[in-house]
Structure 1
Amino acid sequence: MAPLGAPRRPVTPGLDPLALITGKFYFFCLLLTAVLSYTNGLPTRTERLISENDRYYSVEGQNGLIKCLLCPAGTYVAEHCTIPYTSGRCENCPEDTFSQYASGLPECLTCDICRDDQKETSSCIATKNTVCHCKKGTFCPPGQPCEICMPCTSRCPEDQVVKAPCNSTTDMHCSPPSSSTSTSDIVIACVVVSFIIIIIIIIVACVYQKKRSTDTGSKLFGKLTFHICCKENEDHNEAKGDLLQRDIILQFKEGIDRDTKEEIIPRLWPIIVRKVPIKEFSSLMHSLGLSQNEIESAKVDNPSNVNNQHSAMLQTWYQKGAFDINTLLKALRSLDMEKAAHDITDQLISEELYVPQIQQ
């Protein structure tokens, strides 16, 4: 025991339990923040798959499929890779060929050659195809296969003026002048209004006659209005009958053998491809029984030519044993493409590829 009045020894303080817990919790928060920051920067599985599809293509290796890096635009795959996720041997596209995007194609695509009715606005290079436009005085509507440049309209009708000149993609646009209304316009408007008033009077008379028919005069008037209304219905039925008559059933000429039919069928593809609107072609193929994979396969096999893509779809349909020209025409009508069905029917008959079936 220390003597009274002697200085005490300094006491060494122990670790504070609360401070120890607080320090560990703070360290855990810092570690968790670092891990979350790192994982948030990593791509998801879907993002990794999309990135791989944009950068790699699959090829058969010694132990199954492996992925190789795509060759850049302007080159083609001369030799596939042997080690996964590496590049094979890429070589530059030869003259008159091109590759616009990175790909795994074993050869470059052939450059287009402008037709006689076109002019070359951009030459073909290793990374871009030839660009052709119709020559001055001709045009091709956009969004359609340009098989021939059509001549521009040379002048507007007498009562119209040029609103937009003809260019390589659009014909001359004409419209009435923007001046004050002419006398002829007023006369036409009066005739139209008078005609509408007469129609309204006839309709009101028809309705009135159904409700009331009391005296002789009204009966006489009723006979007149009944005749007019019934005559209108008869005209409607006749028009409907004419429409049904347009649904012609086609058949091959009598006496044609199987080999001749096999030669005729491929000649139908260009006609169908020209007449069916481009944006509606895939819908038509779906309605005829082609799967989405079969449609996409036709597009992949013909990457630079829409006409060839659509011809390949028709060929696939034919090879499945489901081809029938009347089935195709019926599908067009069900998709509200009556004009395309009518034009195809007319051309097939005019070129004597088919004949109308004689109704019994």
Structure 2
Amino acid sequence: MLHFKVPLWMALLRFCGLAYSCGSAEYEINGECCLMCTPGTHVNKHCTEYTNTSCIPCAQKTFMDRPSSLPECLPCSVCDPAMGLKTERECTPTSNTACGPLDHHYCTKTDNKGCSFAQKHTICRPGQFILHKGTTLTNTECGYCPDKTFSNKSFSAYCKPHTHCQSLGLQEITAGTNTSDSECGPINIPVSIIVPVLLVSVVILTIIFILKRKKKNRATDQAERKRMNRTDQLEVEAPHSPQIAL
């Protein structure tokens, strides 16, 4: 139990019956100027003409952060998760609980105990990207993906460019959006082009076949004529056999 002695000059003034006001560290009660209790304590008994103020320490989960004349310490604040809060510093006999925002939250209201209300950071959705990341005091800022880019997940830090199908030798089946990539596939040649190309190819192959056949026949004819010429020449050059007289 703590006691504060009344200064001698105060006692003399009281004894002489002279009027005076209580000091800054005192409080008046029952015509007496009692000394306040120090931080971390509260009044157990007020002073009297013959006794000093009796002070005792704050009970558990209570605090007093300044000199006071209160008969009880103040209750420690509770950081309510439903308000988006968490405890950053535990309560002590001389200080209140300090609250801060939960993870992925930012403080929107403050009071003497710190943050009193917090909200969740904005979630950047598909089609957006994180322009500025949220802090304990500021919300997340989102930006929209520019043209020819996309993001298909939440919390994307940046947007990805659409796939350029032509550069891959493919054709674009589905155009990309700000939430999806381009869809590519093999190049399909229209029937209106395929049929004429096939016809032309058949004609060309037929002509080539005919020309080759003619060339082959011509070579065969030439070879046959040469063979016949050689045969005729041999017959001319061969000596006649002598005739035997009968």
Where is the strand percentage greater, Structure 1 or Structure 2? Answer: 2
TM-score by length of 1: 0.30
Higher radius of gyration, 1 or 2: 2
Where is the helix percentage greater, Structure 1 or Structure 2? Answer: 1
TM-score by length of 2: 0.42
